[in-house]
A and B are shown apart, each in its own frame.
Chain A
Amino acid sequence: MSDARLSVFKTYKLYVGGKFPRSESGRVYEVTSGKGEWLANAPLSSRKDARDAVVAARKAFGGWAGKTAYNRGQVLYRVAEMLEGRREQFVREVADAEGLSKSKAGAVVDAAIDRWVWYAGWTDKVAQIAGGANPVAGPYFNLSSPEPTGVVTVLAPQESSFLGLVSVLAPVIATGNTAVVIASERSPLPALSLGEVLATSDLPGGVVNVLSGRTAEIAAPLAAHQDVNGLDLCGADEVLAKELQVAAADNLKRVLRPQPVDDWTADPGTHRLTAFLETKTVWHPTGSLGASGSSY
């Protein structure tokens, strides 16, 4: 019997608003392995898919940003648990996509899962790093706390299709932003599979939306979109990055310019975590400071 079994091909689909739609345009493109063999057809997203993704991300923003930091950490840790359970699938996809051996791909996936856990731990610690009590010349407590920027478009790195993706996506949502991610153009399959993991791990629909297709085609309307608040240009080449920055300037988006990363396994530091934060400062009167000093 086993000889006669038909293979079950997987239809890779987008992940938008917690659902798995095909591209509104009905288009797909062929995804090949590092060696040039056909792997699957992936959706070729249009600007309307991008628009729908922003609507979903905006809708999810209030709820996600409003969760306690601790709860966000729990949800993100749950994502890591789910990734662990589907480790074999990701090892296969990463090996195919990046032309790695099974063991090398395994190391990459392990690093990605560890990174996800690392960022999950940061959710309730970032306020201590990026915020604080400011000394002011008056009878006030003056407190700065970091708040998420809003809807962030993330251009995932083109080469590192999974570890790179996790390294740019996790810090954006850890702080309470919602994300529209454009997967690596050549190797989108791990990103599309990540959508399936996110859908089953308590992450509210719309917090992460994954689009696949031509990066330049999808990124242009997102960079100009008036309802997108931030733009991570990690996966853009120099020419595209410049173009997108010009478009993004129109509504003063927060832009993270592409920085070359040679080794995604290296310690990422906190700069991605703090890239899409706004600072809210609150003044609270302490009452008068009497002759004897503080009254509180």
Chain B
Amino acid sequence: MKQKPSLRLDIQEQTALVLLQGSWVKERIAALCKTDIPIAPSRTIQSYTFDFSSIADFDTHGIMLILHFAKTLEKRGQTVVFQGESPSMQQLLHICDTHYPVEEIEEKKGIFVLDSLENVGRQSVEGYRTLASFFSFTGELTHACVAAVLKPLSIRWKATLYHIEQSGAGAIPIILLTSFLIGIVIAYQGATQLEKFGANIFIVEMVTISSVRELAPLLTAIVVAGRSASSYSAQIGVMKITDEVDAMRSMGFSPWDFLVLPRLFALIVSLPLLVFFADIVSVFGGMVIASTKLDVSFVEFIDRIKQTVALKHLVIGFIKAPIFGAIIATIGCFRGFQIDSSTESVGKYTTISVVNAIFWVIAVDALISVLLTEMGL
């Protein structure tokens, strides 16, 4: 039933009859769209008459193509007349003609050098703006924090506990596993080296100090950054998209008290607790390897810890934990508030938030490490 659409040209001196035949529907017209118009330009013909009477089927795409042909002819300075349309076709023709895109659709073609320069500029300005808004965010956060601490009853304890459960307690299994493995790795690599010059017992200092002072807090923070920075950004971002944040503001509920502070306090509280578990498990991992590879028994290991490992290492590890927690929560929430109304930005800022959180945790750790060592601690 659906015949190929075609044009038949019937030329008489100065006028030409264009007989349109077949189905002018989107599935069939592709072959006719190859050129601007399948009618060769002619100087002698002044007017074309499009005859619609033998069209079998049509849709807006077909009509548009016919209109395109007519307009191309008109641009060449020839007149075009339509005849033989059915009433419904006439109506559709009228609609399509009224809405035919008049302006030439121009495609932007950029010059590579200019485009890349523009990009550099755009990125710099954006970076500057992000920095400025981050400072403004931390400023407001500090203000909200101080206000909350001065009035502890205003803190949303229930929400805070919920986030401690989600971000803290929920992270215990994966943190236990990774810390145990890290303890094993340090002890194993250390054991092969120490064994060479018979300094087996030093495995205790090696595992314990590196774990409790550096690796356990860092690893915990990285795991929590991966879990919680992303989830905070996504939660807050989606709340922004669904206008929940605006609804909150307009009802006089401060998003700081309801969204940011519970998350911030939750991580500040739960990170030291997580680090405590991580410390125990990573040292235990080291003990297992020490007893199997180096014949340092559990009892010897623990005795040696008491004798030689200063308490300050443990304390330093614990002091760093809440700082990491604050960094993760602040970045997670800040990036969440940057999410705008497109679904794409949820993905973008969630990714950025995790990358930023991990980077700043490591950077601050490095800073503290150098600082404290220089101070002789």
A, B: real partners: no
Interface residues of A (CB under 8 A from B): none
Interface residues of B (CB under 8 A from A): none
